[in-house]
Structure 1
Amino acid sequence: MADLGSSLQRTRIHRALSRPNLLMGADRELVLVTGLASIILIFVVLTWISALFGLAVWTVIVGLLRMMAKADPLMRRVYLRHITYRSHYRTTSSPWRRA
């Protein structure tokens, strides 16, 4: 910590600026897409069975998304970056490499 007599400037970083963007404890985009898919299922088929199935699917998937966000709130972004990586990278550059 800085002493009281030091001339270091302190800047407060608010928690809302550094927290992940969650909705109902899970990733916001995934919860919204799940809700949209469930609502489409309910209103396209328009039966009681589809309504119960849509609510059950939404409840189960949001529960799984909450468990995923509890493990790592940024897991979706990490996974999307992971699948863009190659399985093997050459140790040296090729003269015909793409820039």
Structure 2
Amino acid sequence: MAEVGDNLDRVRIHRALSRPALIFGADRELVLFTGLMAVILVFVVLTPLSAVLGAVFWIVFVGILRMMAKADPLMRHIYVRHIKYRPSYRPTSTPWRKY
């Protein structure tokens, strides 16, 4: 007689498929966006000071983004969902209720 646990199949879930996409330990899209902003700053102004400011800007923001990703790798998605919520909701059962 077979036991209950004998018929269970094991399926491997690869770590790369379940991990969030990070670059330098921070959210991929935000790192690329801040890098783009730094490059735009450097190549639009074209001065040595703008090159230094662009590099400092990118390094500081990647550090902040790394701290954010260390707390929660999906924090950007949670924040975007949070700002879509209204400040208060009426205490009704449905938005289409007649008043």
TM bucket normalised to smaller: 0.7 to 0.9
SS at match of 1:83: helix
Q: CA deviation at 1:91?
A: 3.4
In the other structure, the counterpart of 1:13 is: 13
1:89 Cα shift?
A: 2.5
Kindly state the Cα deviation for residue 46 of structure 1 after the two structures are TM-superposed. Answer: 0.7
Q: Deviations over 1:50-98 (max 9, x none)?
A: 000000000000000000000000000000000111222233325735x
CA RMSD of aligned residues (A): 1.9
Unpaired segments of 5 or more residues in structure 2? Answer: none
% identical equivalent positions: 67
Rounded to whole Å, the distance in 1 between the matches of 2:20 and 2:91 is: 35
Q: 1:88 matched to which residue of 2?
A: 88
Unaligned 5+ segments in structure 1 are none
Match of 1:77 in 2: 77
- For the structure 1 residues 6 and 71, does the alpha-carbon distance in structure 2 shift closer, same or farther, using more than 3 Å as the test? same
Partner letter of residue 29 of structure 2?
E
Distance 2:90 2:74 in 1: 29
* Runs of 4+ displaced beyond 6 Å: none
Letter aligned with residue 32 of structure 2: L
The amino acid that maps onto 1:88 is S
Which structure dedicates a bigger proportion of its chain to helix? 2
Give the equivalent residue in structure 2 for 1:52.
52
Distance 1:63 1:96 in 2: 46
Query: Residues of 2 paired with 1:95 and 1:77: CA distance?
Result: 26
What CA deviation, in whole Å up to 9, does each residue of 1:15-34 have, x standing for no partner? 00100110110000000000
Q: The residue matched to 1:73 in structure 2 has which SS?
A: coil
Taking the aligned partners of 2:57 and 2:25, their CA distance within structure 1 comes to 17
Question: In 2, distance between residues paired with 1:65 and 1:84?
Answer: 22
